[in-house]
Amino acid sequence: MEELIEGVSKAIQLIVSGDPIVLDITIRSLYVSGAAVLIATLWGIPIAILLGLKNFRGKLLIKGFFNALIGIPTVGLGLILYIFIHRTSFFGFLHLLYTPTAIIIGEAVLVTPIVVSFSANAMEAVSSEIQDLAKTLGASEDQAFFAVFREALDGILLAIVSSFNRAVAELGITQMVGGNIYGFTSVLTTTIANETAKGNISLSVALAIILFIILFGITLVVNLVQRRRK
């Protein structure tokens, strides 16, 4: 217990003093996870719109596929990505292994099912009523679509926030394709794991506190924004 209290005390000192190592790792984690979520949103939202607002053969199968991928083990996905980008493999010539780009790609793939499934469900929940009402009032197809999208915005925002939380807190992908190279690919989760193994509890606790602040802070801000909108 004394070691834990001492670790927390030193961790708070590191955070308050703006320790450069802590800042570097935190900024890199935010950048990598933010970029991954942005990419996943850019290609995930169009898929969600298709699944949420259109009816076509095979729709349920595709939705089931994305729903199943939500729980994919990060270590398994990291292994698959490692196999594809290893220097002697298919995309080895791109030299992506042990780079921030590899982590971004892996996390983008990881969170895409969350963006797609959550957003599609949000649009389906308001689709029929809002579309029918909009068309009754004389709206065009495009206007009805934007009405549905606007009503589903809270659910879409929740999907994006959930995706970011999943990305910034994952360990398997960042460890396997990032390698936790100090000053280059080290992020919050990999550094916490490695520093704990080395016995550097104070740094591990400091980074864990920051990770929790990020996770809870972003969720709290989004909830406040949604309340103001309502």
The CA distance from 49 to 122, in Å, is 10
Q: Which of 88, 95, 109 is nearest to 163 (CA)?
A: 109
For residue range 32-72, list pLDDT tens digits in order: 999 999 999 999 999 998 898 888 888 899 999 999 999 89
* Half-sphere exposure in the Cβ direction for 103 (13 Å, CA): 31
Q: List the structure tokens of 179.
A: 């390698």
Band (145; pLDDT cuts 50, 70, 90): confident
43 lies in which domain range?
Answer: 2-229
Give the number of domains in the chain: 1
The Cα 17–Cα 32 span in angstroms is 24
Give the Cα separation of 123 and 143 in Å (integer): 15
CATH code for the domain of 186: 1.10.3720.10
The arithmetic mean of pLDDT across residues 8-29, rounded, is 85
What pLDDT digit, counting tens, does each position of 178-219 carry?
999 999 999 999 999 999 898 888 888 889 989 998 999 888
Give the residue among 177, 42, 168 at the shortest CA–CA distance from 115: 42
Q: Is residue 141 classed exposed, middle or buried when 0-12, 13-18 and 19+ CB atoms within 10 A define those classes?
A: exposed
Report d(CA 118, CA 124) in Å as an integer: 10
pTM of the model: 0.90
The token pair at 8 is: 């927390």
What is the phi/psi pair of residue 163, to 5°?
-65, -45
Residues 127-142: pLDDT tens digits? Answer: 666 666 666 666 666 6
Yes or no: say if 102 and 81 are a contact pair by the CB < 8 Å rule.
yes
